[in-house]
Amino acid sequence: MNLRLRLTTDLSGEDIALLAEWAKSNPEGLDELISLLIAPDARIVQRASRILVPIAERAPHLVEAYLDTFTALLGQSRLHGAVKRNLVRLIQYLELPEHLHADLLGICFRFLEDPEEAVAVKAFSMTILGKLARTYPDIRQELKLVIEDGLSRSPSPGYKSRARKILANLAGAEVRPSS
């Protein structure tokens, strides 16, 4: 299959699912899909990142090896919103290696604090930060304050829903059973 050529056309939900299944069962295809994340054509990059989401959701072990690449891409200042959304979304399904924790903390807090950032990017960033808060309890208070600040700015229903879940998890994580 000529994946690059395939990604130059509009893709339906069914097309995305089929291409994700193809990439899951074809290691060379998955490598090619990852390599297209740095293609010069923004539409190809967006479509490639979109195909990676169901792979990460259903078979995270297949894309965990590429987490350094995803994190590096998220650190770029001119990343298209759709690519950013897809990368943050897929990262929430992955086990996060310790060597990327600091980068992901910085990136996700930046997204969450940016008033211009898309709600979906903020919601997925909350999930990643919530996962990292289990390892780094010192960030819980800061995360709580940033989320509550976002809630005070009349956010969307999606932000409110994710914020409530993360805040509840943070509150539960802070409770220590007495011995």
- Residue 78 pLDDT class (50, 70, 90 cuts): confident
Q: Residue 29 burial by CB count (10 A; 0-12/13-18/19+): exposed, middle or buried? A: middle
User: Per-residue confidence at 179, pLDDT binned at 50, 70, 90?
Assistant: very low
Mean of the per-residue pLDDT values of the chain: 93
pLDDT at 154 over 80: no
Asked if residue 7 has pLDDT above 90, the reply is yes
Is residue 137 within 8 Å of 117, Cβ to Cβ?
no
The pLDDT assigned to 176 comes to 37
Cα gap 146→151, rounded to integer Å: 9
Per-residue pLDDT tens over the stretch 82-110: 999 999 999 999 999 999 999 999 999 99
In this predicted structure, the answer to whether residue 175 has a pLDDT above a threshold of 80 is no
Contact 19, 40 (CB under 8 A): no
Q: How confident is the model at residue 173 (pLDDT cuts 50, 70, 90)?
A: low
User: Given this model, what pLDDT does residue 171 score?
Assistant: 87
Q: What is the pTM of this model?
A: 0.91
What is the structure's pLDDT at 50? Answer: 97
Q: 172 falls in which pLDDT band (50, 70, 90)?
A: confident
Question: Which residue in 119, 159, 166, 120 sits closest to 142, CA to CA?
Answer: 166
pLDDT, average across residues 23-31: 94
Q: What is the C-alpha to C-alpha distance for residues 96 and 13, in angstroms, rounded to an integer? A: 28
